[in-house]
Amino acid sequence: MMNYLFTEEQQMIKELCRQIAVEKIKPVAAEYDEKEMFPWDIVKVLADADIFGIYIDQKYGGMGGGILEMAIATEELSWGCGGIALAFAATGLGTFPIILFGNEAQKEKYLSMVAKGTVAAFCLTEAEAGSDAGGIKTTAIKDGDHYILNGTKQWITNGGEADIYTVVAMTNKSKGARGASAFIVEKGTPGLSFSKKEKKLGIRGSSTTEVIFEDCKIHKDQLLDKEGMGFIVAMKTFDNSRPGVAAQAVGIAQRAVDEALAYTHTRHQFGKPVSSFQGVQFMLADMATQVEAARGLVYNAAKMVDAGEKDIAGVSAMCKLFASDVAMKVTTDAVQLFGGYGYMREYPVEKLMRDAKITQIYEGTNQIQRSVIAANMIKSLAKSK
């Protein structure tokens, strides 16, 4: 791995998260995958190590780091298991709307909870609103000092397990996307329930459910920013969170490289290690190079976000697109290098391949990422004229 000139604190985060991945996550990853359980014992380990507070301001009990620190942690934890790491990473997705748009009272309450290890979730996707985030049907109708939420959110990571939900709902349908608003809803609020825990191809150590609102009454103080900001909240959240998905992809891919290298070096065919064959060496070299290129793009995108750069949508989409495509290719190559063993659950690479696939789909499919990148290119061209 290249030297990214981390600060002492960033290096400490990297080493601590790798230690947790190796000692706590890797040994139980297959069991959580098989049983499709939420990793509460790992959440406790991460909370006790203050990992949940990495990207949260110190005045709310966090470490005061940024997107880069979160990416470093996510990559290392995902090396252990992409699904288990989501308890941490998807909490970040649910927390960014509060970091970016919350008022002081909201930050004081909720960020301090997350810093201590409270799990969060982000509720945007619906049955008819995936890539078309402006097509959401969930409503939030003003009723005096309250809002009444009705609707169903689909495929919510950490659903049912999280205590904090940031939710995008329509407050004025006639305005289309500009009629959406964002809210904070706490687990236990009457009218909030969960159903249909999804049976998934990969990331099975993560909970994915429907989140249902039936006359769910919340106070107006739970509104993020102001009415009509929901779509902007969602898009700005994704600009900040996509390096995290990319980091998850890099962690999964790096594990695949490590497993493939170790296996091909110990596996003998025709009287010598498989790793001595030029065809295998070329595959390993390409895998390692692609992962390193993805990592560099992720870290640079994270640094740009942390530096307060305004036009981050394009580079944020690029790192998510590239890293997730690399993860899918590298994990597939790892299965190939393992031969028949790669297809068996007894070995970890088939799980890595299954876990990698979702990184090309969630938080905006890679087709949507390409649209975002191209739109930003065209916008830049227009500005330069």
Question: What is the C-alpha separation between 196 and 192, in angstroms, rounded?
Answer: 14
Q: What is the dihedral of CA 326, 332, 336, 340, to 10 degrees?
A: 160
Residue pointed to by tokens 């992809």: 249
Helix spans in 21-66 (H): 29-35, 40-48
The residues assigned a catalytic role are 363
Query: In 3D, which of 231, 221, 2 has the Cα closest to residue 133?
Result: 231
Torsion-angle region of residue 170: left (phi > 0), alpha (psi -120 to 50) or beta?
beta
| Long-range pairs for 43-51: beta carbons < 8 A, 24 or more residues apart | 43/87, 43/88, 43/117, 43/119, 44/117, 45/20, 46/20, 46/77, 46/87, 46/88, 46/117, 47/116, 47/117, 48/117, 49/16, 49/20, 50/115, 51/13, 51/16, 51/17, 51/20, 51/77, 51/88
Question: What is the C-alpha separation between 142 and 299, in angstroms, rounded?
Answer: 42
Residue-wise DSSP of 176-199: GGGGEEEEEEETT-TTEEEE-PPP
DSSP label at 50? T
Q: Dmax over Cα atoms in the chain, in whole Å?
A: 79
Strand 120-123 to 164-170 pairing: parallel
Question: What is the C-alpha separation between 205 and 250, in angstroms, rounded?
Answer: 18
